Chains A and B, each alone.
Chain A
Amino acid sequence: MSRSIDANIQKMIEASPIASWLGFSASHFGEQNIYRLAFDEKHIGNPAIRALHGGAIATFLEVAAQCELVGGLDTGASIKTINADINYLASSRAQAMEGSATITRLGRRIAFVEATGWQQSADRPVAKGMFRFRIGTDN
């Protein structure tokens, strides 16, 4: 059942040019946030095979991870990505992508968030990313 997304997540999406470039949106199903990368020609990496650019997929996963973390934090805490590690598990198609993210560990200063993206079905992921974030207003 679809519910409205966390207000802090929605605010971040609406204020972010990179989310706009991705055509990024979020919705809430059951107990899980589902994130979406809209298909656009500018997301294509290889026109010969009409695959999404690996960097566009990575950016989608990073924004999804950021959203998940923002939804899990107290309002006002800033976050900054320390690093990103992306595994490309399968070829992508010239289509929209959906994704979900899980906070693996939320510490006082560091958070670990894993994000997964898929196109055909959630049990056939196209890519997975592990992201580490610095949390705090003075980072």
Chain B
Amino acid sequence: MTETPPAISPTISVMLKKARDWLTHEHSLFKSLNLEPVLIGKGRATFAVDLPADFSNADGLIHGGLMTIIMDSIFGLAVFTALEELKPIATINLRSDYLADTRAGARVLCTSKCIEIRGDVAYVSGDIKTQTDNTLLAIGSGTFMVGTRGPTKGSRL
């Protein structure tokens, strides 16, 4: 049974809807990844994502860097969903383990959870699995600074 996450703050929910529309239609990088929200809740973000051929190695396998691009993006969204009010965030560090290879053209699910926000540091973990057969491709964990200096400095959105 799928666990239902608590509701997102209304302020954050409005921001996320606006951001989603803009990111999926206007933003060059995210448009190419064909992002589609699967589950959004407080501290939770799961998106379906394409793995385009532009991000492959010479052998046709997807480069691990794309896993980091996806996790940095979706992990950041998970942090936003956990906030009560909009604050800029910035990645402090991100660790990605690459467990299996996949070819360009696959569609994957990136599942992320903001485990805790302690003070101004958010702790996030998640993984990437193929949508067709649930093969675990990558796992990741990261920390994000919440409330960086300036109105938007360091924000990932």
- Which A residues form the contact surface with B (CB < 8 A)? 12, 15-18, 20-21, 41-49, 51, 53-56, 58-60, 62-63, 80-88, 91
Query: Bound state CA distance, A85 and B71, in angstroms?
Result: 13
Interface residues of B in 45-97 (CB under 8 A from A): 53-58, 63-66, 68-73, 90-97
Interface residues of B in 8-56 (CB under 8 A from A): 27-29, 32, 53-56
Judge whether A53 and B69 touch: CB under 8 Å: yes
Q: How far is the CB of B30 from chain A (nearest CB, A)?
A: 9
- Interface footprint category on B: 35 or more
Judge whether A91 and B69 touch: CB under 8 Å: no
What's the dominant secondary structure at chain B's contact region? Answer: mixed
Judge whether B68 and A84 touch: CB under 8 Å: yes
Judge whether A62 and B64 touch: CB under 8 Å: yes
Q: How far is the CB of B63 from chain A (nearest CB, A)?
A: 4
Chain B residues contacting A85 (CB-CB under 8 Å) are: 93-96
Cβ-based interface call for B154 (8 A):
yes
Q: Which residue on chain A has the smallest CB distance to residue B98?
A: A81
Judge whether A51 and B32 touch: CB under 8 Å: no
Q: How far is the CB of A51 from chain B (nearest CB, A)?
A: 7
Judge whether A88 and B68 touch: CB under 8 Å: no
> Known: A16-B58, A59-B63. Contact between A91 and B28, CB under 8 A?
no
Judge whether A58 and B54 touch: CB under 8 Å: no
**3 A-B pairs with the lowest CB-CB distances in the bound complex, closest first:** A59-B65, A55-B69, A15-B58
